[in-house]
Amino acid sequence: MLENQLVKITEPPSVGITELKKALSGLIKLGKGSLAHQCLLKSYGSRLQKSFEVYIPSSSVCPKVFPATISRLVFSAISSTAKDSGLIFGDKPVYINRVVQWAEWQIEFLYG
């Protein structure tokens, strides 16, 4: 029950970073590190999607700026995700590999 509540806290893209980290920490304390990392990646993916949705309507005003801004959003999200993953989960190869795979998917989605 607590696990489900902690996961729900991580789901909205509007959840604050502090709340997100506390929920992830709670999952880790419950022995659910893998689930916590999955929630981290989903949360940052949702945040990135929300950033796209906010930015896309304004892209018609300056279409030449659009690709650069989208790239900046994606690479900023990748950087933040990698940093926070390292801070929360350490340098465990399994988590590093998941961040790399997630980043590759984000890049492929953008440029694929």
* Predicted TM-score of the model (pTM): 0.88
Q: How confident is the model at residue 8 (pLDDT cuts 50, 70, 90)?
A: very high
Tell me how far apart the alpha carbons of residues 107 and 25 are, in angstroms, rounded to a whole number. 28
Please write the tens of the pLDDT for every residue from 34-89. 999 999 999 999 999 888 777 766 555 566 666 778 888 899 999 999 999 999 99
% of the chain surpassing 70 pLDDT: 89
Q: For residue 33, is pLDDT > 90? A: yes
Q: Is 107 exposed, middle or buried (0-12, 13-18, 19+ CB in 10 A)?
A: middle
Tell me how far apart the alpha carbons of residues 110 and 94 are, in angstroms, rounded to a whole number. 24
pLDDT at residue number 36: 98
pLDDT at residue number 65: 62
